[in-house]
Structure 1
Amino acid sequence: MPVSVTMPRLGESVTEGTVTRWLKQEGERVEADEPLLEVSTDKVDTEIPSPAAGVLTRIVVGEDETADVGSELAVIAGDGEDAGESASAPAQQQEAEPEPEPAALDTPSTEKPVEEEAPAPQTAAPAAGGSAEGTAVKMPALGESVTEGTVTRWLKQVGETIEVDEPLLEVSTDKVDTEIPSPVAGTVLEIKVAEDETADVGAELAIIGTPGAAPASAPAESTPAPAAEPKPEPKPKPEPKQEAPAQPAPQPRIESAPAPQVAPASEAKPATPAPSQPAAPAAETVKSNGAGDAGYVTPLVRKLAAEKGVDLSALAGTGVGGRIRKQDVLDAAEKAAAAKAAAAAPAPAAAPAAATSAATKAAPAKAEPSPLRGRTEKLTRIRATIARRMVESLQVSAQLTTVVEVDVTKIANLRNKAKADFQAKHGVKLTFLPFFALATVEALQQHPVVNSSIDVEAGTVTYHGSEHLGIAVDAPKGLVVPVIKEAGDLNLAGLSKRIADLADRTRNNKIGPDEIGGGTFTLTNTGSRGALFDTPIINQPQVGILGLGAVVKRPVIVNDPELGEIIAPRSMVYLALSYDHRIVDGADAARFLGTLKERLEGGHFEADLGL
């Protein structure tokens, strides 16, 4: 009986969803719980699994179309129906075959190709199920909104044995890096996704089975042979059987790259021309599979190349099929740095020329243009997500920013006095950020309206009972905001450790999906890049975000008890609070910033520092 696929309710207040992509097309087979389509709502982007196994017979809602919760998206025909249709088709063919035999000899010959094409999908079906060739290893969903992952390293190669739950490969997503264990014990028969290639969640990565499982697919093809035994044409069918085992043999695609090296080596006995001849084809392979408009490069590799200043179009890849890998970019950047150092080394021959050589080093660095100039490339998933959420934030809330100036001279003095002992005791550097974080958490406890969220549709506002503090981190892949849960329960040392830990794991792609959501207020330290202040955009559904400017020394008029008003150098910082004017009034924002300013300028953190 056909099964209807309906739009699920992806959130309490979600009433509709938009189909962003169909992972299966009409006529394709899908397994139960296999990802079928991607849906986007105002709360989350996620995959919808198939409720049953069968064939996708009809797509009701196309891509980029919106459907209400509970409405029909597609229809899947069950296994029994497909089996019945496929079983009845051969039966009808067998009944039809004996009748036309005396009528015309051409009709059986024309029917033979049909019979030969029919077994093809039958052999593919067991392969998908893993019963004939082995068990498929699929890309898991590593987080609620994760839809794809990049294979960074295979820990096993084709032909190697592996145990159950033994690490098989490493995968990187926009949220986490992790190892994928093998679901079964056996031998790696096929690797379908090479290193540095990206695959959707649910896509097959490899096939695990026994060494005899590969030829097992050949006997499966022999089943249609008895049906055509009376005729002389089945004899060519054993030939495809020999081609079938030949396909697993080149499955380690790496063999395709060494192949041209063996050929020229056998043609020319000298060892020197052999490496020089493959060099040219390697560059051509990279050009077709690597950078620029010639082929595809994973976002991870392209991002790294942009940071290192490596020109991908001139880079030879060592990956499968000549694909450029992450290590290729790192090696090229290291060689370029070594070449620059070697070129600059002979210049300062004499000691007096040291200053000139330093100047000459700096000059070309400024003149070098960015490799991103003149390039058009696809948005990464995290960049597209940031773009969408920032625009949505401005559209759904009334945002404005209030800025105050704070004298943090006392904190600067305390920090200089205690930072050496603090690092020795706690293992992390004492920066200004933990002071701002602690003062912010204390101010949020006194002004809960800034630590709230509003639901206009329900007509409610929630004043959160805990302070879950988001810390904006400038990671290589883009802006990520990990969250310090229950920040109000931590002291200065605890906040310092958590900030350092989250920032380090975020920049190294070690952060977990559950550590990114659930924040109630956010800090963004734009001053770490020298900015005096900015007007940050609120991270929905929060109602406030505090931007921390650079701490700079400048002359300020201060009131000295003995000398009166004098001009003195002070450590000053601008604090910019962007808030949602739908729930937070200007007076509320001013009171919050006033509490924050008083706490920071008071500088009473001696107890937290053990002074």
Structure 2
Amino acid sequence: MSVSVTLPALGESVTEGTVTRWLKAEGERVEADEPLLEVSTDKVDTEIPSPAAGILASIKVAEDETVEVGAELAVIDDGSGAPEAPAAEAAPAAESAPEAAPAAEPAAAPAPAATEAPTAPSTETEAPAEAPTAEAATGASSASGTDVTLPALGESVTEGTITRWLKQVGEEVTEDEPLLEVSTDKVDTEIPAPVSGVLLEIVVGEDETAEVGAKLAVIGAAGSAPAAAEAPAAPAAAPEPAAQAPAAPEPAAAPAPAAPAPAAAPAPAPAAPAKAAAPAPAPAAPAAPAPAAAAPAPVTPAPAAQAAPSGDDGAYVTPLVRKLATENGVDLGAVKGTGVGGRIRKQDVIDAAEAAKAAAAPAPAAAASGGTAAKAPKVEASPLRGQTVKMTRMRKVIGENMMKALHSQAQLTSVLEVDITRLMKLRNQAKESFAAREGVKLSPMPFFVKAAAQALKAHPVVNARINGDEGTITYFDSENIGIAVDAEKGLMTPVIKGAGDLNIAGIAKKTAELAGKARGGGLTPDDMSGATFTISNTGSRGALFDTVIVPPNQAAILGIGATVRRPVVIDHPDLGETIAVRDMTYLSLSYDHRLVDGADAARYLTTVKAILEAGEFEVELGL
């Protein structure tokens, strides 16, 4: 029976989506709810899960093609013919066993003349014959356990490096418990255990790189743990090809086949040397130990020779590590890597940065006495220099929306200065008790969102939309405020629904939740839709103010500049006009002049300014 995969509704105003990547190919098996493809809309990028388990029979919409909501994307065979398929595959596998045995016998014949030798190879040749069958059926270990695979970690991420295993073989894990840490060129993240059980096998070791979808480990029930020790008995046949290799080419050809073997089968390679020590005495043939000793000889020095210069400028360092070093002023050439062969890891840079801070601790006293200028941070060239890369789907969508907004609206910007000294004092007084009570940090952002939302109630013209085709204006009765977030993939704008009805704590929690989703790739289409007004905190990176672009279907956007302490003339009740150091910031309002006049913009900004400068938030902060 065939099951159709259709494009679901991905948001309130989303009518179509573009297929950016198929995660499965035709003929591959897919499980129910397993990510099947990636789809991009003008709101968000997301994965479409498989509606049923089975075989991907047909792909109807190719990558980079756009279809409407409800369109058929693919067809899945739900497995009505599945029982016959494995049987058909098992038959060739069984037939290949006799072929493998004769192939192994000629190679084994010239090796030893002992009577025990024919017996040992005959049992070992069965293991390779079973191995392909086991792999076709997702592995012997998978039969009694669940595979842990490397998930998709971003739109353009194709591989990841295992930085640390948080559990060892034989240890118990619970579902969703962090199992390992993975590093990509975009982000470091933890991979949770898909099920509860015992970690039976680690397939990919630390500092090894695997592609998305690759098997990393196997988790089974507690009773399966002893079976894991027996499971590597099949890989023990790995020395057998090594023993056969010297039989055909005698001199230098022996190391050559040994090197590709681990490269072609990285999964059993780590387990084979560890478990092969026990079976090694079983085939008492003198030729077997010799290749086993010779095989590591060419393999081990090779990575060491390549990884030795990891601390030098010419060695490969992941963009993530390089960025971290730049931000912390760490010279990579002076860092000693603790990874395989001296590879520099993220933790090495962090340790070096902390050591530098500790060494520089007495520096302020010396600087105060000597009056020396602060040392300029080291600026390192980006690896993107001189490259031409394909524009990501997210970057294209952002660009198209910005061009559409600029070309469809009459935009201009008004700027106003705000004294937030009182607000910052209140925040500093309340931030510790607030964090303990509410479970989130108290940043200045919730105060700005609160003030902006309250002012929108008094100035609905700023919280409105022009319905161009109808020649009408909609004044919204709720304040759904989009918050611009600087994420790895680009600018994301999740929406705080009903911000005008939330207090400071509610806004702080929702802001932290949405920002975390944006940076972690967990935003849903609903999180990204429905904004009636937007706030962009351009000051978070030090900008004094910005002429931000009004998003499509909105009337205005508020930009928040950096907070700067500087001398300002104030009117003191006792001292009259005097100069004092104050916390100052700029607010910039970009608006669509077709709907909002300059006076409207100024009135709105003045209301926001009055709310912020009054700083009457004591009750909400518990002060």
TM range (shorter): 0.5 to 0.7
Which of 399, 411, 417 is residue 400 of structure 1 equivalent to?
Answer: 411
Within 2, Cα distance between the matches of 1:384 and 1:132?
39
Query: Residues 508-554 of structure 1: CA distance to partner in whole angstroms, max 9, x if unpaired?
Result: 97897479646543333444655442112345665432123345656
Contact 2:479-2:498 within 8 A present in 1 as well: yes
The one-letter amino acid paired with 2:462 is V
Shift of the 437–309 alpha-carbon distance from structure 1 to 2, 3 Å rule, reads same
- Counterpart position of 2:350: 330
Shift of 1:327: 0.7
Greater mean deviation of Cα atoms: 22-31 or 598-607: 598-607
Shift of 1:37: 2.0
- Counterpart position of 2:41: 41
Which of 210, 213, 227 is residue 212 of structure 1 equivalent to?
Answer: 227
Task: Tell whether 2:161 aligns with 1:155.
Answer: no
Q: What does 1:418-429 correspond to in 2, within 5 Å?
A: 422=430, 426=434
Task: Tell whether 2:138 aligns with 1:127.
Answer: yes
Within 1, Cα distance between the matches of 2:54 and 2:513?
45
| 3-state SS in 2 of match to 1:212 | helix
- Counterpart position of 2:196: 184
Q: What does 1:396-545 correspond to in 2, within 5 Å?
A: 396=405, 398=409, 400-406=411-417, 408=419, 412=421, 414=422, 422=430, 426=434, 436-452=448-464, 463-472=475-484, 486-490=498-502, 494=505, 502=512, 506=516, 513=523, 517=528, 520-527=532-539, 531-538=543-550, 542-545=554-557
- Counterpart position of 1:575: 587
Shift of 1:156: 0.5
Structure 2 unmatched runs, 5+: 96-101, 107-125, 238-261, 276-299
Greater mean deviation of Cα atoms: 541-550 or 78-87: 78-87
- Counterpart position of 2:307: 285
Q: What does 1:348-363 correspond to in 2, within 5 Å?
A: 355-356=369-370, 359=372, 362=374
Within 2, Cα distance between the matches of 1:118 and 1:281?
31
Query: Residues 141-160 of structure 1: CA distance to partner in whole angstroms, max 9, x if unpaired?
Result: 89999999986643212343
| 3-state SS in 1 of match to 2:601 | helix
- Counterpart position of 2:398: 389
| 3-state SS in 1 of match to 2:227 | coil
Shift of 1:448: 2.9
Task: Tell whether 2:328 aligns with 1:308.
Answer: yes
The one-letter amino acid paired with 1:22 is W
Shift of 1:250: 2.0
Shift of 1:422: 4.8
Shift of the 28–51 alpha-carbon distance from structure 1 to 2, 3 Å rule, reads same
Contact 2:154-2:521 within 8 A present in 1 as well: no
Contact 2:418-2:585 within 8 A present in 1 as well: yes
Within 2, Cα distance between the matches of 1:415 and 1:502?
20
Shift of the 490–569 alpha-carbon distance from structure 1 to 2, 3 Å rule, reads same
Shift of the 14–281 alpha-carbon distance from structure 1 to 2, 3 Å rule, reads closer
Query: Residues 552-609 of structure 1: CA distance to partner in whole angstroms, max 9, x if unpaired?
Result: 656779999x99xx89779665321123456545554344234334555677778878
Greater mean deviation of Cα atoms: 169-178 or 54-63: 169-178
Contact 1:158-1:191 within 8 A present in 2 as well: no
- Counterpart position of 2:22: 22
- Counterpart position of 1:239: none
Within 1, Cα distance between the matches of 2:497 and 2:156?
20
The one-letter amino acid paired with 2:349 is V
Structure 1 unmatched runs, 5+: 96-104, 110-114, 223-242, 256-277
Shift of 1:252: 10
Within 2, Cα distance between the matches of 1:555 and 1:246?
66
- The TM-score normalised by the length of structure 2 is 0.63
- Counterpart position of 2:63: 63
Shift of 1:446: 1.4
- Counterpart position of 2:258: none
The one-letter amino acid paired with 2:307 is T
Contact 1:5-1:50 within 8 A present in 2 as well: yes
Within 1, Cα distance between the matches of 2:383 and 2:152?
35
Between the two proteins, what is the percent identity of the paired residues? 50
| 3-state SS in 2 of match to 1:596 | helix
Query: Residues 469-503 of structure 1: CA distance to partner in whole angstroms, max 9, x if unpaired?
Result: 45556689976667655443455x6479659x839
Contact 2:424-2:444 within 8 A present in 1 as well: no
Shift of 1:205: 3.9
- Counterpart position of 1:372: 382
Over the aligned positions, Cα root-mean-square deviation in angstroms equals: 6.1
The one-letter amino acid paired with 1:285 is A
Contact 2:326-2:379 within 8 A present in 1 as well: no
Shift of the 254–591 alpha-carbon distance from structure 1 to 2, 3 Å rule, reads farther
The one-letter amino acid paired with 2:146 is T
Shift of the 456–149 alpha-carbon distance from structure 1 to 2, 3 Å rule, reads farther
Shift of the 82–457 alpha-carbon distance from structure 1 to 2, 3 Å rule, reads farther
Shift of the 166–19 alpha-carbon distance from structure 1 to 2, 3 Å rule, reads closer
Within 2, Cα distance between the matches of 1:317 and 1:486?
50
The one-letter amino acid paired with 2:31 is E
Query: Residues 207-246 of structure 1: CA distance to partner in whole angstroms, max 9, x if unpaired?
Result: 1132314645878999xxxxxxxxxxxxxxxxxxxx9999
The one-letter amino acid paired with 1:467 is E
- Counterpart position of 1:318: 338
Within 2, Cα distance between the matches of 1:453 and 1:253?
68
| 3-state SS in 2 of match to 1:467 | coil
Query: Residues 437-484 of structure 1: CA distance to partner in whole angstroms, max 9, x if unpaired?
Result: 443222111123433466768998764444344555668997666765
Shift of 1:395: 1.9
Shift of 1:15: 3.7
Equivalences, count: 535
- Counterpart position of 2:282: none
Within 1, Cα distance between the matches of 2:196 and 2:381?
45
| 3-state SS in 2 of match to 1:366 | coil
| 3-state SS in 2 of match to 1:369 | coil
Query: Residues 55-87 of structure 1: CA distance to partner in whole angstroms, max 9, x if unpaired?
Result: 445444332233344444444455454654664
- The TM-score normalised by the length of structure 1 is 0.64
The one-letter amino acid paired with 1:11 is G
